[in-house]
Structure 1
Amino acid sequence: MPQPRRVTLVTSVMARPVIEQFAEDIRRTERLEVQVLPIVNKFFGEEVTVAGLLCGQDVLAALEESGNLGDLVLLPRVMLDNEGVRFLDDVTVEEFKARLPVRVEFVRNAQETIDAIRSLAAPTREATAPKVTVRIQAR
């Protein structure tokens, strides 16, 4: 029996109640485990509670402490610069992803979140392609 899929939704302290409700809807409709992980802003101080001011090092530390991240980690795109390349503390997306053992995506809204989650269930082309054996004989 396959293990249930598990997704980690990273959020800010301020948005936690809304994201918890969204996660409950996802659990019910998508039938998967969802962990909501609010990040405390240690870089600017705990009184700063919005996602747009979270830094890469704080997010990485919380994710690494969290343990089982599942199959996919989703983060608010607003954490990154306009180009989507780095956090406020200059941690790049490339560095960030390299530190985590799971797939990581940055999403702008609820629809992108659902699309990313549903992509977990979509078989890859490689997985569905028929296997072909070629036998070469010398003459």
Structure 2
Amino acid sequence: MQNEFLKKLNTRFVFASDEFYAITGKKLPDYDEYEGFPQYENGVGMMRLFSYEIDEELKNIKGEIKVNKEYIIATGTLAYKFMKSISDKIMNKINGLNLKIVPIKNDFFGHSITVSGLVTGQDLINQLRSYDATEAIIVPKSMFKKGEEIFLDNITKEDVEKELNKKVIPLDISGKEF
């Protein structure tokens, strides 16, 4: 269908969501095929853009970097494999960095809800309680209510930090920031 639109309209016009690729295991389209990411806010191309930005940042690393740090990266179950592949790339470039990707099952809304943006504070607390050795927990800002550091279940970032005795670092979905 995209090829037909590209011939007739000079645009692909229709784009599959990232969820489609995550569920089916199909390879994400190339960066240029997203045509500037016009559907980004609708969950189309977020994974490709993030991956592209990570690759660009890793290219900028010259020489050997050594650290002794460990972070937990909490994500919804849908993005687990994708985030695992990203973290493996980063750990291959930075010696001594351990990124533990933890898929958070959505007990609050139900296990059929798999996206990171609907993970709640209580689910983080319950499922990360057993993880000890870590600098901090990294979460996407999409887990919070817009403009606040409050999860959808009204648990605050500070509540999670207090319960887990770990700093929570919210990040935009940006390869550069990550």
TM-score w.r.t. length of structure 2: 0.58
Aligned to 1:49: 114
CA RMSD between the two structures: 1.5
Kindly report which structure 2 residues correspond to 1:1-139, keeping only aligned pairs within 5 A, or say none: 4-31=68-95, 32-65=97-130, 67-109=131-173, 110-113=175-178
d(CA) in 1 for partners of 2:162 and 2:80?
26
Runs of 4+ in 1 over 4 A off after TM superposition: none
Name the aligned partner's letter for residue 101 of structure 1. N
Q: Closer, same or farther in 2 for the Cα pair 1:43/1:69, shift >3 Å?
A: farther
Which protein is bigger by CA-based radius of gyration?
1
TM-score w.r.t. length of structure 1: 0.73
Give 1:53 deviation, angstroms.
Answer: 1.0
d(CA) in 2 for partners of 1:99 and 1:108?
23
Of structures 1 and 2, the one with the larger relative CO (CA 8 A, separation 6+) is 1
Give 1:69 deviation, angstroms.
Answer: 4.5
Give 1:33 deviation, angstroms.
Answer: 1.1
d(CA) in 2 for partners of 1:14 and 1:73?
18
Q: Closer, same or farther in 2 for the Cα pair 1:69/1:83, shift >3 Å?
A: farther
Give 1:79 deviation, angstroms.
Answer: 0.4
**Structure 2: which 5+ runs fail to align?**
1-66
d(CA) in 1 for partners of 2:141 and 2:104?
14
Q: Calculate percent identity across the aligned residue pairs.
A: 25
CA contact (8 A) 2:157 2:168 kept: no
CA contact (8 A) 1:8 1:69 kept: no
d(CA) in 1 for partners of 2:133 and 2:128?
7
